[in-house]
Structure 1
Amino acid sequence: MENYLEFIKKAWRDFVENGNLNPFIKPIIAESWKRCKKFGVDPMGGVGKVLSKDLLELRIKENEELISIAHPIMENIYSMVAGSGFVIILVDKDGYLIDVIGDEEVMERAVELNFVKGALWTEKAVGTNAIGTSLFTDKPVQVIGAEHYCITHHSWTCSAAPIHDEEGNIIGCLDMSGSCYKAHPHTLGIVLAGAYSIEKQLALMRSHKLINATFDSISEGMIITDENLQVKKANDMAAKILGLTLEEILKVDIKDLLRDVNLVNTVLKSGNPYYDIDCNFYVKDKRIACSVNAVPVVSNKKSIGIVITFREAKYIHNVVNRVVGYKATYRFEDIITRNEEMKRIIESAKRAALSDCNILIEGESGTGKELFAQAIHNYSRRAQGPFVAVNCASLPRELVESELFGYEKGAFTGALKEGHPGKFELADGGTIFLDEIGELPLDLQSKLLRVLDNKRITRIGGTYEKRLNVRIIAATNRNLREEVERKNFRGDLYYRLNVINIKLPRLVERKEDIELLAHYFIDRLNHKNVAHPKILSKEYIEKLKNYDWPGNVRELQNAIERSYYLCEGDVITEEYLPDNILRNAKMGKMNLDSVLPFETLEKENVKNALLNCKGNVNRAAELLNISRATMYRKIRKYNIDLKSIKMNQNEIFN
């Protein structure tokens, strides 16, 4: 070693003083010397510049992950070389020292060269050295004695290896420095092994962080147990769903938490996964309905634990609602009208929407009861919740209860083995629209009344009452008050539903809207068929206005669509109207021309009676079946001249 130290010192002096490069110098050192000369490094210098305290703290903070991983490995290396005169250095990717461990006497020597935390140790800063050369070449390097470009380092030996991230980028360097007389090839091997360990630990830690971030970011609750069903890990969502802290979950007995499932027999012993199990978590006297997956963790063909994932049933219901379209699409702005009464009804409906009261909407078929129900939902605080519409008349009598309130598994023959939520459960947090409520059987009316009273439902075959937050909007085309009098509808249910009443007028009562709606429907059809727009003729519009529309807006829409698709031209004329509308519109117009005001008819009757009775008021009153006093009032009202009647009983008064 001494011979090599003398040789390298002479070769260094020859290069520095004369520019001669000995061919026996190691290539990596020779190239570094040439770079240092090009950089203008002073071979008589070599004292590193040190960052200010604030900048050093900032750099350490930027590299705290690297330091936290590397420091224990540095301590482990130092434990093997303690007392031998070496110092272990961690450097960041820019060449700044960010962690130092070493013998006290070596540390004192290092201070003389500013070989301390915060010092910059690149080739440009202090010439050829293991740290700077390793960072520049991205290779492990050992530099001994005068191989250092600066004379102040000639008494040192240093071995360094770069540290990479998972993508192969240099993120730092590990170095081991000491007296040049203690240089040994094994030193570089130790450093290289240390750098490799840091890389692997860093990758492992980042992998754990990624797994933990994924574990905590998934939308399902997750609990992991060992083979003894001891909880080993749980995520934040599990804590949120169960209303427990993570520490509390680690202490809980999973068999008490999940009483409805025998995890030992169904999962651990069988080794089979179970998916979409509807069961309850029992937490602090609460029951939380969830959909659960339980998957065994298998090693060497043996179950060593279980991964349990779960979601609240109400979350599943929200997903189902979105998929099957349990959503209100109409708003009050979608209601087309010029009618003042209709505008008043809309304003009343808006005020009703802001409350949480039950609403009863009355009106004939086709007047827009569901449109109003959807608009009320979208105007309310429940707009983000589901809107579930149920037509009570369309449900088979034997299925009404199960459809509304759901059933538990095995509740009856043909029931799904997982059970089934009812429409009220699916509407939790939103609105349920019970259309044609008057068709609901009496026995179901009493159960609905109970739900209205206590806000809870019990599935068929179940014993547990589930609390719900549902707003009820009911609708009917019947006169429910008359149905109550006829004992066809429960009076107590009627009053519970009829907290706020909205009565929708027939289309014939809002005739100013007929033309408006007709143009609206045509515009909507033209929007779908932009290549062939069509318009309505004046005669067509007149026929629409002269029809009574027993099917209301729905019938009008159907008539417009029929005419639109039958007409091949650009102008839709009356010939494309359905025959019944065309015929009844003509009759309506003809009858209208023959109708006389009531007072005109009454005046003619009084005159004719007096003429027939030759001006005798008493006999005329008897003929009209009215009193003598009333007859005189009519004579005065219509200014009838009795004298003229008596003089000429055949005169016809005009």
Structure 2
Amino acid sequence: MEKYITFIKNAWENFIYDDIINEQVRNEILESWIRCKKYNVNPMGGKGKNKHSNIKELIDKNRELIKIAKPVMESVYKIVEGSSFAMILADKDGYILEVIGDEDIMDRVNELNFLKGELWSEKEVGTNAIGTALYLKKPIQTIGAEHFGISQHSWTCSASPIYDEDKEIIGCINMSGNYYDAHSHTLGIVTSAAESIQKQFALSRSYNLLNITFNSISDGMIVIDSDSNIKRINGRALEVLNLTLDDVMNLEIKNLITNIDFKALLKGDKKEIYNIESDFKIKNDKIKCIVNAVPMNVNNKNIGMVITFKETKHIHKLVSKLAGFKASYTFDDIITENKNMKNMIVLAKKSAKSDCNVLIEGESGTGKELLAQSIHNYSDRRNKPFVAVNCASIPRELVESELFGYEKGAFTGAAKEGHAGKFELADGGTIFLDEIGELPLDMQSKLLRVLDNGKIIRVGGTFEKQLDVRVIGATNRILKKEVNRKNFRNDLYYRLSVMNIKTIPLRQRKEDIGLLVNYFTKKLSIKKGTEVKKINKDYVEKLKDNYWEGNVRELRNVVERDFYLSEKNILVSYEVENTCKKEEKTFENVVAIKTLEKEAIEKAIIQSNGNMVQAANLLQIGRSTLYRKVKKYNIAYKI
């Protein structure tokens, strides 16, 4: 990414100052730059301008789009919350309608005039994701100096137009953040969000324009009269609530849903409500649903109400799709000729066909997540979510809410409507708990309870929700030793390791090194768009002499380095590691920096009694950086 940032910055400067066109710049950006010069856009600018003369009128004109788009924006934002990204909605002309983002990014958003009513067309501010996507009528991502205005050079933006059912553009959704966080997946998330908004928009229009056959919609529907009596209910509603028609006709709506004041809605005190999370209380059970309630108004009088709802788990499936909760790898992606590896794959396939918990143990870089994804895709859950969680990267105080979610008002700073945890998002599928050996002991006991009965309770909640989730754990620690050291619960270990799979270090399968080198070389050649590089005849033999502490991950990095350093079409070895080893022998009294860093981290954690926030402050580094280095050096931080 740094190489590309430098390239595009140089190309931009040559174009702006010397009118030099670099044809290696992708066509969409280059053509946009040329248009911007014709528009006389100031390249030293790049901030929003020409605020709409009547923002209230602008919002009213796009009220339906905002109402539909905002819940989708909020769902996506919950997934990326804390990663310094902002979600932005614009109308068909490029006027900003809605902005959602982290506090730190919102300060930068304000500096660029990414504000309601500001115009972000290409003609006004130059090449930018919103304006250029609207001009091209297709999704686009802009990174760094691809933006025409210099004020945006520290940004990456991904935008997708939103169409109505007549294929006319009605708006644009955008995700913006720091340019060094640029990722192709971001554009995919935004495109999926735009598609979701389009579907919801089309459905909304259909509700307004057509008298849809009552039982043809996928949502549950209940119609009540002005006295709150249930008059009609569709088949989907009966299915979700697990009731018969006779059951429902003897129930009152206020006893089914308690957190909505239907009387106030019918009186006209409130117009309508959308996307309210509610519990349908059915006998001794609760069914979480997202509810809409719209009064039926005839001659300025409410004669009843239409209540539509869908199970929360269906919303979670949409969130999972937008967030990329999907397993990409299969057993076919595991490259090996090693007998022990093939035996491991046979065991993993048998594990996949069961529904048992699986524990994968092995060194870093041996493909534990690849194996977990393969197990998921080989199982009957292959079409359901695969949610991966790195237990070592979650701050200790947030582990429970991250895994099990929280109810509204559960703690200071909690989202007012509550938040679903990773287990809920994985319902029906698989949750992959990577670095499970790093879980605090108190969370281990709570996880054990979930494994025993399949139920979770959100933080601040009292209701147990039954889930259907398969758990795959992974660790680079030897958990049996951690059990003996009292760092890991013995009962949890045995509950997890119903199926125990141990990955094989690369040094014990060196016959696979040649296969892996060929595979990585082909992938890199395809990525670069060049002929596949030939491999020097002694290259693989040199690699086989290495200990490969970082296993396949380290091998991939070495091959990638050598690929780009080899100027000819032959892959040759560069003696970087060997040179370092010689230098270490020459200067035996010099302590390696990584050794000093590891010791400093260990001392800080001990002095802070395991409080990672205090330890990070002592070391004068960020908390996320501290967690990353703890993982890198395999440091135990439980005190």
Q: TM-score, normalised by structure 2?
A: 0.56
Counterpart Cα distance in 1 of 2:399 and 2:385: 20
For 2:453, give the aligned amino acid.
N
Structure 1: any 5+ residue segments left out of the alignment? 1-206, 589-654
Distance 1:379-1:584 versus aligned 2 partners, 3 A rule: farther
Equivalent position of 1:258 in the other structure: 257
Shift of 1:269: 3.5
SS of residue in 2 equivalent to 1:306: strand
SS of residue in 2 equivalent to 1:295: strand
The answer on 1:364 being equivalent to 2:384 is no
The answer on 1:559 being equivalent to 2:558 is yes
Native 8 Å contact 2:265 2:271 kept in 1: yes
Equivalent positions of 1:333-412 (< 5 A) are: 333-412=332-411
Distance 1:507-1:567 versus aligned 2 partners, 3 A rule: same
Equivalent position of 1:55 in the other structure: none
Distance 1:234-1:544 versus aligned 2 partners, 3 A rule: same
Equivalent position of 1:512 in the other structure: 511
Which among 574, 577, 582 is matched to residue 580 of structure 1? 577
Native 8 Å contact 2:226 2:266 kept in 1: no
Counterpart Cα distance in 1 of 2:520 and 2:295: 58
SS of residue in 1 equivalent to 2:310: strand
Counterpart Cα distance in 1 of 2:226 and 2:539: 79
Distance 1:381-1:268 versus aligned 2 partners, 3 A rule: farther
Native 8 Å contact 1:543 1:582 kept in 2: no
Query: How big is each residue's C-alpha offset from its partner over 1:331-377, in whole Å with a ceiling of 9 and x where there is no partner?
Result: 11110001000000110111111111111100000000011111111
Counterpart Cα distance in 2 of 1:513 and 1:461: 51
The answer on 1:435 being equivalent to 2:434 is yes
For 1:535, give the aligned amino acid.
K
Counterpart Cα distance in 1 of 2:501 and 2:578: 29
Query: How big is each residue's C-alpha offset from its partner over 1:39-68, in whole Å with a ceiling of 9 and x where there is no partner?
Result: xxxxxxxxxxxxxxxxxxxxxxxxxxxxxx
Shift of 1:249: 3.5
Equivalent position of 1:542 in the other structure: 541
Equivalent position of 2:314 in the other structure: 315
Equivalent position of 2:302 in the other structure: 303
Distance 1:586-1:219 versus aligned 2 partners, 3 A rule: farther
For 1:492, give the aligned amino acid.
D
The answer on 1:418 being equivalent to 2:403 is no
Equivalent position of 2:325 in the other structure: 326
Query: How big is each residue's C-alpha offset from its partner over 1:432-472, in whole Å with a ceiling of 9 and x where there is no partner?
Result: 11110110001111111111111111111111111111111
Counterpart Cα distance in 2 of 1:586 and 1:508: 24
Shift of 1:268: 4.5
Native 8 Å contact 1:278 1:291 kept in 2: yes
Shift of 1:554: 0.8
Counterpart Cα distance in 2 of 1:560 and 1:273: 60
Counterpart Cα distance in 1 of 2:578 and 2:363: 19
SS of residue in 1 equivalent to 2:444: helix
SS of residue in 2 equivalent to 1:371: helix
Counterpart Cα distance in 1 of 2:308 and 2:530: 53
Counterpart Cα distance in 1 of 2:278 and 2:413: 20
Equivalent position of 2:34 in the other structure: none
Native 8 Å contact 1:456 1:467 kept in 2: yes
Counterpart Cα distance in 2 of 1:248 and 1:211: 30
Native 8 Å contact 2:275 2:292 kept in 1: yes
Equivalent position of 1:240 in the other structure: 239
Equivalent position of 1:521 in the other structure: 520
Shift of 1:583: 5.5
Counterpart Cα distance in 2 of 1:442 and 1:243: 39
Query: How big is each residue's C-alpha offset from its partner over 1:464-504, in whole Å with a ceiling of 9 and x where there is no partner?
Result: 11111111111110111111111111111111111111111
For 2:577, give the aligned amino acid.
N
Distance 1:537-1:476 versus aligned 2 partners, 3 A rule: same
Distance 1:304-1:569 versus aligned 2 partners, 3 A rule: farther
Shift of 1:428: 1.2
For 2:384, give the aligned amino acid.
G
SS of residue in 2 equivalent to 1:308: strand
Query: How big is each residue's C-alpha offset from its partner over 1:123-152, in whole Å with a ceiling of 9 and x where there is no partner?
Result: xxxxxxxxxxxxxxxxxxxxxxxxxxxxxx
Counterpart Cα distance in 2 of 1:555 and 1:439: 23
Native 8 Å contact 2:430 2:472 kept in 1: yes
Query: How big is each residue's C-alpha offset from its partner over 1:153-206, in whole Å with a ceiling of 9 and x where there is no partner?
Result: xxxxxxxxxxxxxxxxxxxxxxxxxxxxxxxxxxxxxxxxxxxxxxxxxxxxxx
Distance 1:224-1:250 versus aligned 2 partners, 3 A rule: same
Equivalent position of 1:498 in the other structure: 497
Q: Which stretch has the larger CA shift, 446-455 or 210-219?
A: 210-219
Distance 1:585-1:319 versus aligned 2 partners, 3 A rule: farther
Counterpart Cα distance in 2 of 1:285 and 1:491: 35
Native 8 Å contact 1:544 1:585 kept in 2: no
Counterpart Cα distance in 1 of 2:458 and 2:255: 24
Identity, % of aligned pairs?
57
SS of residue in 1 equivalent to 2:375: helix
Counterpart Cα distance in 1 of 2:221 and 2:211: 12
Distance 1:545-1:225 versus aligned 2 partners, 3 A rule: same
Native 8 Å contact 2:264 2:270 kept in 1: no
Counterpart Cα distance in 2 of 1:427 and 1:464: 18
Native 8 Å contact 1:410 1:417 kept in 2: yes
Query: How big is each residue's C-alpha offset from its partner over 1:248-270, in whole Å with a ceiling of 9 and x where there is no partner?
Result: 43443111111232222356432
Counterpart Cα distance in 2 of 1:226 and 1:330: 52
SS of residue in 2 equivalent to 1:538: coil
Counterpart Cα distance in 2 of 1:229 and 1:581: 80
SS of residue in 1 equivalent to 2:392: coil
SS of residue in 1 equivalent to 2:538: helix
Distance 1:301-1:338 versus aligned 2 partners, 3 A rule: same
Counterpart Cα distance in 2 of 1:583 and 1:546: 16
SS of residue in 1 equivalent to 2:393: coil
SS of residue in 2 equivalent to 1:393: helix
Distance 1:558-1:268 versus aligned 2 partners, 3 A rule: farther
Shift of 1:421: 1.0
Equivalent positions of 1:43-82 (< 5 A) are: none
Counterpart Cα distance in 2 of 1:546 and 1:556: 12
Native 8 Å contact 1:547 1:585 kept in 2: no
Counterpart Cα distance in 1 of 2:579 and 2:510: 17
Equivalent position of 1:249 in the other structure: 248
Structure 2: any 5+ residue segments left out of the alignment? 1-205, 586-639
Native 8 Å contact 1:235 1:246 kept in 2: no
Distance 1:276-1:319 versus aligned 2 partners, 3 A rule: same
Native 8 Å contact 1:330 1:375 kept in 2: yes
Equivalent position of 2:472 in the other structure: 473
Counterpart Cα distance in 2 of 1:268 and 1:428: 39
Query: How big is each residue's C-alpha offset from its partner over 1:626-650, in whole Å with a ceiling of 9 and x where there is no partner?
Result: xxxxxxxxxxxxxxxxxxxxxxxxx
Counterpart Cα distance in 2 of 1:467 and 1:581: 56
For 1:439, give the aligned amino acid.
E
Shift of 1:212: 6.3
Give the alignment's Cα RMSD to 1 decimal.
Answer: 2.5
Shift of 1:527: 2.4
Native 8 Å contact 2:362 2:505 kept in 1: yes
For 1:236, give the aligned amino acid.
G
Distance 1:585-1:301 versus aligned 2 partners, 3 A rule: farther
Native 8 Å contact 1:518 1:560 kept in 2: yes
Equivalent position of 1:282 in the other structure: 281
Counterpart Cα distance in 1 of 2:379 and 2:487: 32
Number of residue pairs aligned between Structure 1 and Structure 2: 379
